[in-house]
Amino acid sequence: MRSFLSTSTDREAALCFAQAGAHDVEKVLFVIEADTHRQTAPFAPISHLSYFRSEDEVLFMLGAVFRIEKVDHDGGVWVVKLVLCSKDAHEIKKMIDHMKKEIGEGEATFYSLGRLLRKMGKYEKAERCIQQRLLELPQNHPHEAPCYHLGKYSNRRTSSMW
């Protein structure tokens, strides 16, 4: 699948998109620093091609890797400053290899997300992900068995409370 991350260089337009979400979800504004002189994942301004030219849209290729520089909360919106990383950055490759080893390289599923959340200590969220994965799978599916380790999540969650 080929997709893009749609962004805007117009902060006010981006804030409008962030504010348009449901009231029970957190609003997040990503402020991205992308150096045009570094070899990074492809990105391109497309305003000149867009029907909505005033949005000042920039597309980033999915798979782009960003480093989190700073996170602030400003007027009900989380502002996350990101820096687009070079694909060849040694630290990034090490981190990606480590994450692949930890959570597996296969298809991203609620199960793999649950495993990652468990490693982060987010046991309740991990448990919900695993339960969702069980709902997705047909009965007697080979991937069903690992999901029945829900006791680990619940046990860790309750023992971390003490």
Rounded CA separation 46/31 (Å): 18
Give the mean model confidence (pLDDT) for residues 42-67: 79
CA 86, CA 39: separation in Å to the nearest integer?
A: 6
CA distances from 20 to 26, 42, 105 (A): 11, 28, 34
Taking residue 30's Cβ as centre, other Cβ atoms within 10 Å add up to 15
> Which has more confidence, 40 or 161?
40
pTM beyond cutoff 0.95: no
Give the pLDDT score at 69: 93
Is 135 a residue whose pLDDT tops 50? Answer: yes
CB 30 within 8 A of CB 83: no
* Most confident region among 55-59, 110-114, 157-161 by mean pLDDT: 55-59
Average pLDDT over residues 13-24: 78
Per-residue pLDDT of 75-105, as tens digits, reads 888 899 998 887 666 666 777 677 777 666 6
